[in-house]
Amino acid sequence: MNHSKIYEYRFADVNHSKKQIVWKEVADYIYKLTNRPETVLDPAGGMCEFINNVPSREKWTIDLNGEFLDKYADKSVKKVIGNNLTVDLPQNYFDLVFISNFLEHLESQEQVAEFLGKMFQTVKPNGFIAVMGPNFKYAYREYFDFADHTVCLSELGAAEHLIGAGFNIAKICPRFLPLSFRGGLPVNKFLVQTYLQMPFAWRFFGKQFLLVAQK
């Protein structure tokens, strides 16, 4: 699958300034929710919107494409080039591992379990993992509008995977953020901050789950 061409097409009409506004506030929200972690890993950094914005002291991200990371990752981010299922990572090291919109791209439920097991090893005792992704329960109509979506997950299935990896569930939000940035909803700092502080609104707009678990 040619991910570069797919993503170029997928994000052609996405307002990237809107994405930055959203991710700055989401990163701050996750940072506070997980006790202000000092060491953070985003093992599927994508365009690095989360890892660039989280105000932690030490920040790592992983990608297969070194040129991609050179383009998007800030200089403050430690870049690891390779497959996040097989790269060498320090054991019991990170205060937080944050995973966004990645599990659904894996090849099978077994591979999801393998990946989360690897993340368990790299989180320090009492550290956190936060997982965000499309909830098939609420986004089934649009779920396969994305060519690289393969694994179907709900918040309950993702929670079972985290338990299976060894984590203890701390928080489950079946609905958190909207599915994508393709829509024309207005976005500014005040609206995003207000949305994140009003969980009752999530049930109207949220199609992605958020889970937080602890080692």
Amino acid 89: pLDDT: 97
**CB–CB of 81/66 below 8 Å?**
yes
**CB–CB of 155/137 below 8 Å?**
yes
Closest CA to 96 of 169, 43, 144: 43
**Residue ranges of E strands in the chain:** 39-42, 58-63, 77-81, 94-100, 123-134, 168-173, 208-214
**CB–CB of 103/133 below 8 Å?**
yes
pLDDT in tens, the chain (215 residues): 655 565 554 455 656 677 889 899 999 999 999 999 999 999 998 889 999 999 999 999 999 888 888 988 999 999 999 999 999 999 999 999 999 999 998 989 999 999 999 999 999 999 999 999 999 999 888 776 666 667 999 999 999 999 999 999 999 999 999 977 555 566 788 999 999 999 999 999 999 999 999 99
**The model's pTM:** 0.90
Domains and CATH numbers, the chain: 3-214 (3.40.50.150)
Query: What is the spatial distance between Cα 59 and Cα 96, in angstroms, rounded to a whole number?
Result: 10
Amino acid 19: pLDDT: 81
